Chain A
């Protein structure tokens, strides 16, 4: 019976069966990558190593934001033995109910958690952790994991610096692939603007785990591990002491102070009041509701986000445009009889001062009527084809000073303010149905003009520089960071340098003419500092006038330009003017020679005048 056909058929059958097995093996072992991937998902655990976040320094090398260690309390529910809930709650400073609730939650999710550890309590301060560490042996399954958190040695610039918090789902959606659940990221201010530099790069250790989710050993002896790269340090242009001083001055006031070094465009201080205390920043999660519900909205960075009518400060712009256009000479004198009269009974009022005035005096005494003449001369210039064309040219000048647009600073969430166009009025009144008188309030910085305190500070720096500015910025070049070269370029205005000295002279006289001279800003005068300034009193529909002041000093070698805005503070000279001059004095002299004024300013409260909704 050898070589029977049946044996052959059986052998063929065997061959087919074996071929099926081999083909299947070929498929899953060689063709299909899925199983290799699944295998690593199965057995490898990536343990993230978080880099330390970059430190933020001020311009003098003081640390504004550093790092300190806090501890996350982790629980491995599978390892927990019955324990004294009350004792643990006491040690950790939480309620007993909190721990009970958490343990119940873990019990319900025990399948999903398996042998993993979960975070029960975040960012426990080191002192609490030390207390816990001593009695840890009583609570098997609980452990602490050090984690670096933000530390603020200097109470300066809460709004400016911004805060860091755990990423949420919408953040993850906006930054696909960059973050994972549980990561922290800068949400506002510098922390957000320079997130990419500050955060560093995460590393990981790969471990092998078994089917019960217990770590067995490190994968390939750590060959494939990636070490974390610490975040880059950042040097800001902020002067920590000036910033802190500004915050103290602005206490109980709503508004902002922006100080810029004119020659470089570096922001020396950016105060927004009321602001966020740095101690609240460190633990933003706890204070978030409190901050968000504050009627004065401390999260709102007024220095770059609040748009106000600039008021009389804007007269300087109109004056400079008039000079450049040739429709105004410094010698021009215009009369003022308690205001500017137009048409049958139209009048734009002014305060009492001697008349007529030339240009310098008009700045010094802040005459409204003078600038009504100026703006009408600009807008009714016959070289333009109609009022709307003239309007657009006027707008172009204004925008060359940075008004009506975002300055392009490195600070996030900057707003652009507004300078109206001819088209805008055409639309509102109908083409041909308006004239220079219709928009007469533009002459004194009211009407449709809106500017942020940052705009005003930049404008002041432009005057100090006699015709150019550098884009205000808050980050300096440093070892780790090179800033955009645009911040080093001079941005020239459309007004020639020759026209500035007269305006500056007017500003100098506004401050330094002494009381009784008619100068509006005499209170700002500090001996030897040659402060030049211009007050503003911005009418607004939200109650009492805003108090505005811009100034720079010293006159011939400007080191600092300041814009101060106090919401509902009244006259420019009442609050903004002394506050700004104190800032200048602090920066240039290191302290004040006018302690009484300083005292009065610090204690003053204008907040009561501010309407909250």
Chain B
């Protein structure tokens, strides 16, 4: 009886229908909004193949075919075994596209076969997810072991680097999302904190000042140590807090001192005192003018670091040692940020970051996209202008509105409510994937589920963040909604491989 139950569990029970429905809903919403975004005062049918909504219809149908193939034709057990080959194949394609691809908007990431264009970077998410899942699910694999850790990082990093080489920064950024998977599988939380810290320092260095970000760095490290070292919590807070307070007030205090010195020095040099040849009028304290608050910080940090290293050695407190390392690394990062910003980043990226951080107002140049996108979304108000009622998206004020900026159409025509519905659908999709994944007994399926969730999350956050102006403009599509075959196919395959694996679980366990 029991055994029969296992095998007899049919499609109705084994497939996660809610997930499928959510998928279908998003695809449908995407299709309608693509139609709205290409809609103009001379409307065409939604099925008109001359416009993007008609083409998307084809992509949707083919996606369904792919989904069915994955669910019913390909045996789920193949995926694990095939993943190294798929991975290698995709990496090969990624490399080849740099030489053989066509150039679209400054990046070489598309293959062109007649009328159809195909972007290997989209597929690479699938292959990386598969291989990463296979690796992490291997018995005996431990992330805390350096060899395994570096292997995992290499699997993620290789396609990421190649995609960076294709100048598809946005797609490469998505791979950072895999860190959540690694975290779920045992990576230390400090890695997450580290990455967060790097991003924070980068932003504060550019927007505030290097000095301010150094103070923030010190404050954070002191706070971490206070929590880590429970015994001396208050001592850390009081001494550390005092140090941070002094450091943050220092530029102002030092400004007073140097101001006074400068005034005195000026007064002396203005005296009717004629020095002998070659002799400048001297003021003893003038050397103070050459000292900047940052020098105090370095001195203080140097002393703190020496004490820290000594204490960590004596008390065998490796956390303190790591903190000192982080402090040094962070300081170097802050000082090299300007260098990175000016020399490593590409021109258009630098400008986009400048606009994003409000360092430059440029509504007609680089800021144009974001500004128009915000106008479109903002003008939607609470309930939107109604289907096909948008003026900003209909009349082409928003660039790339059916692909990367499809969310503008949602925002303008369906308003805050519509945005909320779409975002909640994604949240449902992601959490459902996570919960389903956690229910699996096969580690491969579980890890793969997390990979899918991480990919969708990264796309969601970066894309919507970009349209509302809290992320730089890096062109990546909104999963399932944006126009485009490559993207739709990739996410369909990504999700349906999981569904197929999950179905197998349900079928047999």
Contacts and interface: CB of A to CB of B under 8 A. Distances in A.
A9 to B, nearest CB: 8
Interface in A180-214: 208-212
B184 A25 contact: no
A256 B42 CA distance: 66
A36 B397 contact: no
Interface string A71-91: 000000000000000000000
B379 A38 contact: yes
B468 A39 contact: no
Contacts of A2: 438-439
B148 to A, nearest CB: 18
Q: How large is the interface on A (under 10, 10 to 19, 20 to 34, 35 or more residues)?
A: 35 or more
A35 B434 contact: no
Interface residues of B, number: 41
B430 interface: yes
B395 A43 contact: yes
B378 interface: yes
A211 B395 contact: yes
Interface in A22-58: 22, 24-26, 28-30, 32, 34-36, 38-40, 42-44
B392 interface: yes
A30 B416 contact: yes
A216 B40 contact: yes
B465 A21 contact: yes
A22 B470 CA distance: 12
A172 interface: no
Contacts of B378: 28-29, 32, 34-36, 38-39
Interface stretch (A10-18, A240-248, A354-362, A583-591): A10-18
A209 B391 CA distance: 9
A7 B40 CA distance: 46
Contact of B464 (A21, A35, A39): A21
Contacts of A613: none
B382 interface: yes
A175 interface: no
B446 interface: yes
A36 B381 contact: yes
Contacts of B434: 7, 10-11
A20 interface: yes
A217 interface: yes
B365 interface: no
Contacts of B470: 20-21, 24
A213 to B, nearest CB: 10
Contacts of B381: 29-30, 36
B395 A11 contact: no
Given A2-B438, A14-B431, A21-B464, A28 B395 contact: no
B118 interface: no
A6 interface: yes
A289 B391 CA distance: 48
Interface stretch (B214-222, B351-359, B419-427): B419-427
B376 interface: yes
B423 A39 contact: no
Given A35-B375, A216-B40, A26 B427 contact: no
A1 interface: yes
Interface in B427-441: 427, 430-431, 434, 438-439
B392 A42 contact: yes
Contact of B395 (A3, A7, A35, A209): A209
Contact of A216 (B41, B411, B464): B41
Interface in A383-435: none
A35 B374 contact: yes
A212 B396 CA distance: 8
A549 B330 CA distance: 99
Contacts of A14: 427, 430-431, 457
A445 B184 CA distance: 109
A21 B423 contact: yes
Contacts of B427: 14, 18
B377 interface: yes
Interface string A537-571: 00000000000000000000000000000000000
Contact of A35 (B183, B377, B438): B377
B395 A216 contact: yes
Interface string B151-183: 000000000000000000000000000001001
Nearest to A208: B391
B184 A39 contact: no
A34 B375 CA distance: 8
A13 to B, nearest CB: 8
Contacts of A6: 183-184
Interface string A320-355: 000000000000000000000000000000000000
B37 to A, nearest CB: 13
B64 interface: no
Contacts of A7: 184, 434, 438
Contacts of A4: 184, 438
Nearest to A15: B427
A6 B374 CA distance: 35
Interface string A208-226: 1111100011000000000
B376 A211 contact: no
Contacts of A17: 457, 461
Interface string B437-458: 0110000001000000000010
Contacts of B465: 20-21, 24
Contacts of A10: 180, 183-184, 434
Contact of B392 (A26, A30, A39): A39
Among B184, B375, B382, B438, max chain A CB count under 10 A is at: B375
A25 B419 contact: yes
Contacts of A42: 372, 375, 391-392, 397
Contacts of A25: 377, 411, 416, 419-420, 468
A36 B468 contact: no
Contacts of A22: 419-420, 423
Closest 10 CB pairs of A and B: A35-B378, A39-B379, A210-B395, A43-B391, A28-B378, A211-B396, A29-B416, A38-B375, A211-B397, A216-B41
6 contacts: A2-B439, A22-B419, A22-B420, A40-B379, A209-B395, A210-B395
Given A21-B423, A44-B391, 11 more contacts: A6-B183, A22-B423, A25-B377, A29-B411, A30-B382, A30-B416, A43-B392, A210-B396, A211-B395, A211-B397, A212-B396
